[in-house]
Amino acid sequence: MAQRKLFLGARLKRLRRERSLQQAAMAGELGISASYLNHLERNQRPVTAGILLRLAETFDVDIKQFAAEGSDGGGAEQLLEVFSDGMFADLGISRHEIMELADNAPALADGLTRLYTAFRELQRHPPDAATGGADPRVLITPETWVRDYIQSQRNHWPELEEGAETLGGALGDPLSVAEPLRRRLKEAFGVDVRLVPPETLEQASQMYDPQRRLLLLSSLLRPENRTFGIAYQLSLLEFHPTIVRMLEAARPPDPGSRRLLHMSFANYAAGAIMMPYGKFLLAAEEHRYAIDRLCGDFGANVEQVAHRLTTLGRQGARGVPFFMLRVDPAGNISKRYAGENFPFSHFGGTCPRWHLHAAFQTPGQTIRQLIETPDGQRYFTISRTIERPIRPDLRDDSLLAIGLGCDVRYAGRIAYSDGLDLVNTPATPVGPACSICPRLQCPYRATPPAGRALAVHENRKSISPYPFVPS
């Protein structure tokens, strides 16, 4: 049987850009000519087994994952979601054409996704709130731009990891890292830390006064959130030159996106200080990713540990590549991170068949589940509730839920999978947003899939509220 040729141009190009290499430099490391690499990146030549082996040896690439992804899988999936919009229904755009665009013109595919995102944001505002000739990129919210940028880098920042690991190792304490962090702030930067009543900070959980060199923390913050707050402020000061360079390289489109990305970098560094990479990965593997054990070892809370688990992408020392979501009881997604491909919608919410939402019915318990996406990929997931970091009004609901998951092939390394038959246990069929989900008989479907003809009849009621004609 003839083997399928692998055209991985977009993935090769992304890998080269991640390593900040010119074509000639990467070609030299692979032992091929720059012109041949250029042909590979433009999908004019297939990637051979020899090239894959050299990629694995030189750049610590997981061959199976690299070959399976082809182009940036997220980009292709986002394009599929974009073109599922009803406005394109009459164009008859095939999946093959969309995948071909993502493979051969990844920058153009990203541009189309960005344009569609701006269109969606514009729909949320009245016409008189449009930019009136300003840069159209401002129609993409800072949160959307920053989320997409972080995901494009696989939520791993080697330049922050190195400094944070050195600092975190030096400040390590068997009881609590909070006191060493406070001392470092005082001794290196002359900053005092003070716990104050929430009324002092009004609507803030913490505030830094550069004139008085004073960091104020709300007394409502839980101990691990206070520690994180100190680590965050230390990161802003300790890694200022590094963060500025990273911001310049990212080129955010507007001041709001720049400020939010600045905060995201500092948050990342704070987590890396509290949970230094090498020590944390060793503990995660030893305890088989048991979250509560890691919380105890590092003085962190469940959300902080879960977020840290999505960042373990260091070359030569990778952890399980997790994805993570955080939702409120209404289903609003407030965090979305992934160490590799993410199996859910870019523009919509999550599938109701995923037990992430059921976590609110059993607060404090860990719910495990095998799920399967329409393309046949299986994932092992856990879901549980967490407390909000601060709760100014006791009348407000304090619970959020996080979902953490990975490809099922990694599940055996995770303690929560013990006792579960990962091969024979039926997986729950889930999908992306209903508007693009191809599953026919789903009783949870909220909307019909875009571009599909409905198969409704007055004399027959189906299980799914929106039966449709399969393509």
Pick from 319, 287, 288, 291: nearest CA to 306? 291
Is residue 339 very low, low, confident or very high in pLDDT (cuts 50, 70, 90)? low
* Per-residue pLDDT at 241: 97
**What is the average pLDDT value for the chain, to the nearest integer?**
85
* Per-residue pLDDT at 72: 40
CATH number of the structural domain 141-274: 1.10.10.2910
Report the distance separating Cα 215 and Cα 236, nearest Å. 12
Average pLDDT of 428-443? 80
Report the distance separating Cα 147 and Cα 463, nearest Å. 36
Is residue 215 very low, low, confident or very high in pLDDT (cuts 50, 70, 90)? very high
Residue 437 has pLDDT above 50, yes or no: yes
Q: What is the pLDDT of residues 357-407, one digit of tens each?
A: 889 999 989 999 999 988 788 999 999 999 988 776 666 678 999 999 999
Query: What does the domain layout of the chain look like in residue ranges?
Result: 9-70, 74-140, 141-274, 303-439, 440-471
Is residue 88 very low, low, confident or very high in pLDDT (cuts 50, 70, 90)? confident
- Chain centroid to Cα 82, Å, comes to 19
Higher local confidence (pLDDT), 49 or 239 = 239
Q: What is the pLDDT of residues 10-35, one digit of tens each?
A: 778 878 877 778 899 899 989 899 88
Read off φ and ψ for residue 62, nearest 5 degrees: -75, 110
* Per-residue pLDDT at 451: 61
Per-residue DSSP letter, 468 = B
* Per-residue pLDDT at 394: 63
Q: What is the pLDDT of residues 251-282, one digit of tens each?
A: 998 899 999 999 999 999 999 999 999 999 99
Report the distance separating Cα 81 and Cα 450, nearest Å. 9
Burial class (CB in 10 A: 0-12, 13-18, 19+), 361: exposed
Nearest 10 degrees: CA dihedral of 351, 353, 354, 358?
120
Per-residue DSSP letter, 318 = E
Residue 3 has pLDDT above 70, yes or no: no
Residue 343 has pLDDT above 70, yes or no: no
Is residue 453 very low, low, confident or very high in pLDDT (cuts 50, 70, 90)? confident
Q: Which CATH class is domain 9-70?
A: mainly alpha
Residue 70 has pLDDT above 60, yes or no: no
Residue 79 has pLDDT above 90, yes or no: no
Give me the DSSP letters along 323-349. EEEEE-TT--EEEEEESS---S-SSS-
Task: Assess contact for 267 and 274: CB atoms under 8 A.
Answer: no
Q: According to the 3-state scheme, what is the secondary structure of 364-404?
A: CCCEEEEEECCCCCEEEEEEEEEECCCCCCCCCCCEEEEEE
Report the distance separating Cα 119 and Cα 140, nearest Å. 8
Report the distance separating Cα 74 and Cα 2, nearest Å. 28
Q: Which CATH class is domain 303-439?
A: alpha beta
Report the distance separating Cα 138 and Cα 257, nearest Å. 9
Q: Do domains 9-70 and 141-274 have the same CATH topology?
A: no
End-to-end CA distance of the chain: 29
Higher local confidence (pLDDT), 301 or 152 = 301
CA distances from 346 to 37, 82, 191, 284 (A): 31, 9, 41, 29
Report the distance separating Cα 291 and Cα 322, nearest Å. 13
Q: Could you tell me what percent of the chain has a pLDDT over 90? A: 44
Report the distance separating Cα 358 and Cα 240, nearest Å. 41
Higher local confidence (pLDDT), 238 or 451 = 238
The first and second tokens of residue 350, run together, are: 């999550």
Report the distance separating Cα 82 and Cα 75, nearest Å. 10
The first and second tokens of residue 450, run together, are: 């875009």
β-bridge partners, 369 = 381
Helix (H) or strand (E) run with residue 233 in it: helix 223-238
